[in-house]
């Protein structure tokens, strides 16, 4: 990963400015956080216990005790039926949260029911039958009797009003016609919800009361909170009727870090859960941290300003050098590092870069005047240097020669001659390179190309045919040139290597194969390709061309006429052999 020098200076300044402060601040913050966490945990546990006890005290002290007194009065033999009903009515008046009281006789479907008039009116206004909603069914009373849960609340949410209601049953010892009598009551639990909402902790934290399924109770709408880890841990304890209060840190699904505690009321199948976000719990720590950050930022800014001034003076010339090197990498050798006057290592580097660019430019320009084979020979002999001499290799040599060049050069200006040659050689060179050949040299209006490796004869032949077609197309575009090309191709052994004087050498190919290609080129008609027998034999199977036998051609330097073959494009898919 790139790490700029300016960034290094900034990092260095940051370490000097804020590292000691950060070390002290971290220790102070950690100690304060530990103390606040301990205090927050104690507060969470205390609130959960307070609310659990408040629920139990409300149930046992306010409702259950009063209902037991009413039950005992009704159970007395000294009171008549009218007096017992009056006692029920009076009990409702003294206990506003009790919305119904009833006496149920075993086996009878007609209980004695007394309802809270205000609550009954409310139900009636909503279009509901108060008797149907506030009566306790015989089946429920029988279920309570069967489990022995007398006096314990059965909680449900009344969907018609959204109220949470507890139902309890108390047995009477008095019997009517030998049948058991049970007193049932329904209690509206908004008082418990108000107790939760009024607690001071609710202003800075969250208080939830959940049942065994992880659903919130006592609220207007029941919400499933089971995705919270603390609720998930409390749920099995509610089901098991365990009462193991606990405290734990955790993270909510939305990513908020929380501290939480839970406790269990004895009289309700619920868990009271208190939660406080770490952000609120550590508010003091956050304030201290902000002060440390402000002081650190001031120190960092001062140090950074000094580092910036120094770094800019140091890195500006380095950036200039980098930009120049990047431009050189893209092929622009006209650029130079300018404006660097520093008399130090960076100034010396700028001068060396400029000299290197000049040398590279000269080298690249020189590379245009030598063949790829020459460059490969030089690169492979970097340690020992290129020495004179050669080695035998099997190659295919391609000669091209422009017909009509002498007459053309005498009738037009030298500038036009050069332009025409460059146009022809550009097209021919591209084709040679596309077929894997190497342009060895240009001799006046002639081009010499060498092909090596697998399929060299076929590639040389295909290249020659494509060059003739390209030259014909070029002549159509520039008919004023009136130039054609003749091509000769020969294959066989030749000597390839560095030849010449010690101070001036040329890397080229020599031998009878080269001479034969040159002689065939001189005998070729305009737009004709002549190949020797070795090339024709090795090119068997070449698609798209046909070899036509010609009478043996007398060539300079050869005692006997040399077999030659003309190569032309064939539209037929199969290769024809003459």
pLDDT digit string, tens, across residues 191-233: 999 999 999 988 888 899 999 888 988 877 788 888 888 888 8
Q: Is the pLDDT of residue 381 over 60?
A: no
Contacts of 536 (CB under 8 A, 6+ apart): 547, 565
Rounded CA separation 547/458 (Å): 12
Q: State the pLDDT at residue 518.
A: 92
- pLDDT-based confidence at 578, cuts 50/70/90? very low
User: Which of 157-166, 216-225, 432-441, 448-457 has the weakest average pLDDT?
Assistant: 216-225
Q: What is the mean pLDDT of residues 251-262?
A: 86
Record the pTM.
0.47
* Higher-pLDDT residue of 36, 142: 142
- Cα-flanking dihedrals φ and ψ of residue 57, to 5°? -65, -40
Residues of the chain with CATH 3.30.450.20: 5-58+192-281
| Cβ–Cβ < 8 Å for 40, 276 | yes
Residues of the chain with CATH 3.30.70.1230: 372-569
Q: Options 3.30.1180.20, 1.10.579.10, 3.30.450.20, 3.40.1670.10; which CATH number does 5-58+192-281 get?
A: 3.30.450.20
DSSP, residue by residue, 388-431:
SEEEEEEEEEEEEEEETHHHHHHHS-HHHHHHHHHHHHHHHHHH
Residue 104: how many other CB atoms lie within 10 Å: 26
Q: State the pLDDT at residue 318.
A: 73
Rounded CA separation 48/327 (Å): 71
| Cβ–Cβ < 8 Å for 264, 246 | no
Q: What is the mean pLDDT of residues 60-66?
A: 89
Q: State the pLDDT at residue 9.
A: 64
Rounded CA separation 425/437 (Å): 14
User: Which of 138-152, 356-370, 419-433 has the weakest average pLDDT?
Assistant: 356-370
Q: Regarding the domain delimited by 372-569, which CATH topology (the fold level of the hierarchy) does it fall under?
A: Alpha-Beta Plaits (3.30.70)
- pLDDT tens, position by position, 128-157: 999 989 999 888 988 888 888 888 899 888
* Higher-pLDDT residue of 368, 235: 235
Q: Is the pLDDT of residue 577 over 50?
A: no
């Amino acid at each position: 990963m790139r790490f700029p020098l300016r960034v290094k200076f900034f990092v260095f300044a940051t370490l000097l400015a804020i590292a000691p402060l950060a070390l002290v601040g971290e220790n102070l913050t950690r100690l304060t956080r530990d103390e606040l966490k301990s205090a927050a945990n104690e507060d969470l546990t205390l609130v959960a216990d307070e609310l659990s006890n408040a629920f139990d005290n409300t149930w046992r002290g306010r409702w259950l005790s009063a209902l037991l007194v009413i039950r005992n009065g009704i159970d007395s033999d000294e009171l008549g039926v009218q007096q017992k009903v009056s006692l029920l009515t009076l009990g409702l008046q003294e206990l506003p949260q009790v919305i119904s009281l009833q006496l149920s006789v075993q086996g009878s479907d007609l209980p004695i029911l007394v309802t809270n008039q205000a609550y009954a009116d409310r139900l009636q206004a909503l279009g509901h039958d108060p008797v149907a909603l506030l009566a306790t069914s015989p089946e429920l009373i029988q279920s309570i009797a069967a489990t022995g849960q007398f006096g314990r609340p059965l909680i449900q949410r009344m969907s018609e009003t959204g109220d949470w209601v507890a139902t309890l049953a108390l047995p009477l010892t008095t019997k009517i016609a030998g049948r058991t009598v049970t007193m049932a009551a329904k209690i509206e639990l908004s008082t418990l919800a108000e107790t939760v909402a009024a607690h001071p902790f609710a202003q800075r934290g969250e208080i939830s009361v959940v049942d065994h399924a992880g659903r919130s109770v006592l609220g207007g709408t029941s919400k499933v909170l089971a995705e919270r880890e603390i609720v998930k841990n409390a749920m099995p304890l509610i089901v098991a009727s365990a009462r193991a209060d606990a405290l734990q840190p955790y993270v909510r699904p939305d990513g908020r870090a929380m501290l939480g505690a839970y406790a269990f009321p004895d009289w309700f199948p619920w868990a009271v859960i208190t939660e406080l976000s770490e952000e609120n719990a550590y508010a003091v720590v956050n304030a201290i941290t902000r002060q440390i950050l402000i002081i650190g930022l001031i120190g960092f800014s001062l140090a950074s300003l000094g580092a910036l001034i120094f770094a800019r003076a140091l890195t500006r010339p380095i950036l200039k050098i980098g930009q120049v090197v990047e431009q050189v990498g893209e092929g622009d050798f006209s650029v130079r590092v300018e404006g660097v006057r520093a008399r130090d290592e960076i100034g010396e580097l700028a001068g060396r870069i400029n000299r290197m660019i000049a040398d590279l430019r000269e080298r690249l320009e020189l590379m245009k005047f030598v063949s790829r084979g020459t460059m490969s020979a030089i690169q492979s002999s970097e340690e020992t240097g290129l020495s004179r001499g050669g080695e035998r290799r099997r190659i295919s040599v391609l000669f091209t020669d422009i017909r009509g060049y002498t007459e053309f050069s005498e009738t037009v200006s030298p500038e036009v001659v050069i332009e025409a040659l460059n146009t022809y050689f550009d097209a021919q060179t591209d084709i040679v390179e596309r077929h894997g050949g190497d342009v060895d040299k240009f001799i006046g209006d002639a081009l010499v190309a060498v092909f090596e490796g697998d399929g060299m004869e076929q590639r040389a032949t295909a290249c020659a045919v494509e060059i003739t077609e390209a030259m014909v197309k070029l002549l159509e575009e520039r008919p004023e040139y009136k130039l054609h090309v003749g091509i000769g191709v020969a294959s066989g052994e030749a000597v390839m290597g560095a030849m010449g004087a010690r101070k001036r050498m040329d890397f080229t190919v020599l031998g009878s194969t080269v001479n034969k290609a040159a002689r065939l080129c001189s005998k070729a008609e305009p737009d004709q390709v002549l190949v020797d027998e070795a090339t024709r034999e090795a090119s068997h199977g070449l698609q798209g061309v046909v070899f036509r036998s010609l009478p043996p051609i007398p060539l300079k330097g050869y005692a006997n006429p040399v077999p030659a073959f003309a190569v032309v494009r064939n539209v037929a898919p199969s290769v024809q052999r003459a």
